[in-house]
Amino acid sequence: MGKQKVHDYVVVLKNHNKHAIEITGWLLALLSIVIFLVIIYQEPTDWGIFFTLLTIIALMASNFFEKRKKKKISFATLLICTGIGLSFFAETGYVDSLFILAGIAEKFLNKNKEIGFSDSGIVMSGFIPKKYQWSELNNVLIKDDLLTLDFKNNRVFQDQTDDQEDDEYEVESDEFNQYCQQRLGS
């Protein structure tokens, strides 16, 4: 969560975009293979293209087997390799840069949002972390895996927690709610 500040509690929220990100990753992986096959058809003598294509196929196969084992998969490496391969071995305009940007974006978009709770306040992770003081809130509560932040300005933030992400960050609702009530009362 940034500067490695210690929080009394860290609540991990579900990333509702993971399925869309994964589908996009598979489609971009297939597109990259098609692009390299077209390039090979046009210039069958460049060994760099063959090597890059084999690397991409190996990374895609690795993702396929990891997915079957119910493990997390990422397309960042595959997309960045595609972009680098295209930049070195093909004249594709800005397509290489788009693949590299897609790989970097996938890395950031796949992260779950974390909210750190400490005596000094609440910090929501993100590109630009948001910090809130306890005095800005009426109530903070986790019930049925739903985190609710009720702000004094009549704004409400609600999102599902992700219990399966990491046991280290698993939060007991009753203990957490009691902690928040103590911070709100002081």
> What burial class does residue 30 get, using C-beta atoms within 10 Å of its C-beta: 0-12 exposed, 13-18 middle, 19+ buried?
exposed
Strand ordering across the sheet containing 146-151: 137-143, 146-151, 156-160
Q: Does the structure show a pLDDT above 50 at 153? A: yes
pLDDT, average across residues 127-143: 91
Q: pLDDT digit string (tens) for 29-44?
A: 999 999 999 988 988 8
Check pLDDT > 70 for residue 25.
Answer: yes
Question: In terms of DSSP bridges, do strands 146-151 and 9-12 run parallel, antiparallel, or are they unpaired?
Answer: unpaired
Cβ contact 150:139 at 8 Å: yes
Measure CA of the first residue to CA of the last residue in the chain; give whole Å. Answer: 25
Q: Of the candidates 174, 180, 142, 178, which has an alpha carbon nearest to the alpha carbon of residue 161?
A: 142
Q: How confident is the model at residue 2 (pLDDT cuts 50, 70, 90)?
A: very low
Report pLDDT for 3: 47
Q: What is the DSSP letter of 19?
A: H
Give the rounded percent of residues in the chain with a pLDDT score beyond 90: 54
Tell me the whole-structure pTM to 2 decimals: 0.74
Backbone φ and ψ of 105, nearest 5°: -60, -40
- Mean local confidence (pLDDT), 137-159: 92
Rounded Cα gap, residues 31 and 102, in angstroms:
13
Q: Give the helix/strand (H/E) hosting 96.
A: helix 95-109
Using the predicted structure, report yes or no on whether residue 141 has a pLDDT greater than 50.
Answer: yes
Q: What is the mean pLDDT of the chain?
A: 88
CB atoms within 10 A of CB 163: 13
Tell me the one-letter amino acid at 28: L
In the DSSP assignment, the letter for residue 129 is -
Summarize pLDDT for 81-130 with one digit per residue, the tens.
Answer: 999 999 888 787 789 999 999 999 998 888 888 999 998 899 998 888 99
Site of tokens 């599902």 = 160
The pLDDT of residue 89 is 83
